[in-house]
């Protein structure tokens, strides 16, 4: 009995090969963007888990809130660096002229708008400490966060940020940006939203 190959997989491979034709992997700006995109979640996952196990940051700052806010500053600075590297890569990478259409531009704007809504609504639902890993510092909410956008998505900040980068790439006419946006997807399940930041995969968020 012969087994037929999945035609869908073949089409996906062809599309990916076609898109990679517009990616210059040796471009220093592209390499920097990929490294910052990969490093940032690794950094805050490692530091948050280390703090949860040892409480050394909370003891050093003599307050879990000060420790959490200090970590948030480093996360924000790293995110600014990531955005800068991504912007530089958008300038230096090959452009796809077929994206230079009103429809593509409108799609890019729509994705940016969707991304902003998801990211901001997630932030307001979780609060500052909830967004920046406060559960790992023992800063807990009384109950799960189930309001929008957590009532429709498991990882709204990831999806919102991904939509932002993808929309940015489409408006810039640079398919390489799709690589960066895809790299932002979480590798594992996000914690349930009992104050969990949905910025990271990992163990369930802590409840009181």
- Whether cis (ω within 30° of 0) applies to the bond prior to 149 is yes
Spatial separation of the C-alpha atoms in residues 149 and 78, rounded to whole Å: 25
Maximum Cα–Cα distance across the chain = 69
Work out the angle between the directed axes of helices 156-171 and 176-183 (0-180°, nearest 10): 170
Q: Any binding-site annotation on 108?
A: no
Provide the residue count of the chain: 208
E strand spans, the chain: none
Q: Any binding-site annotation on 114?
A: yes
Q: Any binding-site annotation on 180?
A: no
Q: Which residue do the tokens 């869908």 mark? A: 8
Spatial separation of the C-alpha atoms in residues 200 and 180, rounded to whole Å: 17
Annotated binding site for S-adenosyl-L-methionine: 113-115
Q: Which residues are annotated as a binding site?
A: 113-115
């Amino acid at each position: 009995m012969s087994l037929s190959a999945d035609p869908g997989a073949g089409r996906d491979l062809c599309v990916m090969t076609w898109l990679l034709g517009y990616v210059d992997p040796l471009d220093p700006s592209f390499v920097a963007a990929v490294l910052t995109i990969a490093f940032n979640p690794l950094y805050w996952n490692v530091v948050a888990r280390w703090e949860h196990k040892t409480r050394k940051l909370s003891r050093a700052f003599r307050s879990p809130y000060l420790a959490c806010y200090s970590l948030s500053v480093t996360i924000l600075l790293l995110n600014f660096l990531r955005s800068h590297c991504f912007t530089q890569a958008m300038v230096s990478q090959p452009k796809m002229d077929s994206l230079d259409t009103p429809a593509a531009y409108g799609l890019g704007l729509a994705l940016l708008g969707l991304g902003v809504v998801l990211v901001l609504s997630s932030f307001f639902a979780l609060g500052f400490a909830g967004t920046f890993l406060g559960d790992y510092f023992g800063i807990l909410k009384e109950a799960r966060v189930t309001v929008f956008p957590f009532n429709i998505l498991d990882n709204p900040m990831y999806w919102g940020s991904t939509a932002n980068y993808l929309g940015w790439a489409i408006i810039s006419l640079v398919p390489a940006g799709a690589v960066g946006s895809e790299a932002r997807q979480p590798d594992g399940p996000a914690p349930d939203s009992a104050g969990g930041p949905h910025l990271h995969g990992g163990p369930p968020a802590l409840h009181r």
